[in-house]
Amino acid sequence: MTRAPLHPQPMSLEQWRALGEDTSERSELQEGVLIVAPRPRFLHQRLLTRLASELIVQAPPEFVIAAEPEVVLTDTDRATVRVPDIVVARDRDDLVALTADDVVVVIEILSPGTRHVDLVRKRGEYADAGIPHYWIVDPDDRPSIELLTRDDGRYIGDWHAGTVEVTAPFTAALNLDALT
């Protein structure tokens, strides 16, 4: 198991990329600070896989669905790179790495250890980066989803449960009860 080296100073995007791949931990870069967390639990991964599968089947060919990709939100000296649970991006031939400009929907699944970060910090970061839609899935008890749309620089939206019809960026029916 490789471990990410400690970085006492804020990291640049080049330093982040030089770390290479590490599948033993979940690493993100938050304003130049390396954030390391344990991998999500199996139930979280199962929900992620089922939701991504539903979206893949229903997405038009001009969209690509990816689980746990790196998304560069800012590439300044204090770069921010997040690893959302699922992203929806517009597909194109030269798409190799994702930036916020490529992403049309970012989806986070709440976990006990990430709940506050997903509901507060990432909501602000994704909105500031200009990502049009942010969906937050809460798997507790009966699964629900907050469908947020960026409006005037911030997200607005509501929580839904059961089968949810989304219309943007494409039309899809999400049966939240079947995810768990």
92-120 pLDDT, tens per residue?
Answer: 877 778 999 999 999 999 988 888 999 99
Domain boundaries defined on the chain: 40-179
First to last CA, the chain: 30
Assign domain 40-179 to a CATH class: alpha beta
Strand-pair category, 133-138 with 103-109? parallel
Q: DSSP secondary structure string, 29-57?
A: EETTEEEEEPPPPHHHHHHHHHHHHHHHH
Percentage of the chain exceeding pLDDT 90:
61
**pLDDT digit of tens for each residue in the chain (180 aa)?**
344 445 557 777 777 677 666 555 677 778 877 887 777 788 888 999 999 999 999 999 999 999 999 999 998 878 889 999 999 999 887 777 899 999 999 999 998 888 899 999 999 999 999 999 999 999 987 899 999 999 999 999 999 999 999 999 999 999 999 988
